Amino acid sequence: MTAHTVLRIDSSARHQDSVSRRLTDQVIERLAPETVVTRDLSNTLPLIDEAWIGANFTPADKRSPEQRETLALSDSLIDELKAADTLVIGLPIYNFAAPTTFKAWVDLVARAGVTFRYSEAGPEGLLTGKRAILVVTSGGTAVGSEIDFASGYVKHVLSFIGITDIEVVTADRLAVDPEGTVNKAEEQVARLAA
């Protein structure tokens, strides 16, 4: 599957010496997309609040100008998702979970009637036909272990909104063997289908 448009999502608080950013660079280089849209979550997103919830649950044709403005960033983030063929997500594990900035992004893009809908069969994701590559890094948490509350969460959220073609590049337990861990992750990147 060729990636024409990649949405790159960085969630590391680090810019210098960030392993997730460096590996995400390599994934992008491997995919060689026509277009890359970058969303850096380290610049913090607002948390949803009562005004946001009120605007979100007001029917679109009945929203006030203030409510439309309240949802403008959420709409923009969702437009980025819709336009992308592939998501490349740099996901460091902080204290066993995804960074709070990533959770803030999820809260802004997981919207009933927009990115998923409820049906008689249960929730149905609306962003189908996309690929996601997670670049998961950690200092000591083994990805997929019982103390990893990040990678499973992100896979579930993506599937919930319709993105089920998910691959994981793992650079976990960097505090134990940084060089070996990065080398293994780079091998995984090299095996990714462009």
Q: What is the CB neighbour count within 10 angstroms for residue 70? A: 21
Q: Does residue 182 have a known ligand-binding role?
A: no
Q: What is the mean pLDDT of the chain?
A: 96
Q: Where are the domains of the chain?
A: 5-47+83-191
Q: Does residue 151 have a known ligand-binding role?
A: no
> Rounded to whole angstroms, what are the CA distances from 160 to 14, 108, 120?
29, 14, 15
Nearest to 116 by CA among 156, 85, 84: 156
Higher pLDDT, 1 or 101: 101
Q: Does residue 125 have a known ligand-binding role?
A: no
Q: Does residue 6 have a known ligand-binding role?
A: no
Give residue-wise pLDDT tens across range 129-142: 999 999 999 999 99
H or E stretch including 104?
Answer: helix 100-109
Residue with the two structure tokens 């990678």: 151
CATH of domain 5-47+83-191: 3.40.50.360
Overall average pLDDT of the 35-42 stretch: 96
Give residue-wise pLDDT tens across range 41-70: 998 899 999 999 999 999 999 999 999 999
Tokens of 106: 């999820």
Q: Does residue 11 have a known ligand-binding role?
A: no
For the chain, percent of residues with pLDDT exceeding 70: 98
Give residue-wise pLDDT tens across range 163-182: 999 999 999 999 999 999 99
Sign of CA dihedral 81, 99, 118, 122: positive
pLDDT confidence bin for 2, thresholds 50/70/90: low
For 134, residues 6+ apart whose C-beta sits below 8 A from its C-beta are: 89, 91, 151, 154, 155, 166, 167, 168, 169
Q: Does residue 159 have a known ligand-binding role?
A: no
Q: Does residue 18 have a known ligand-binding role?
A: yes
pLDDT confidence bin for 183, thresholds 50/70/90: very high
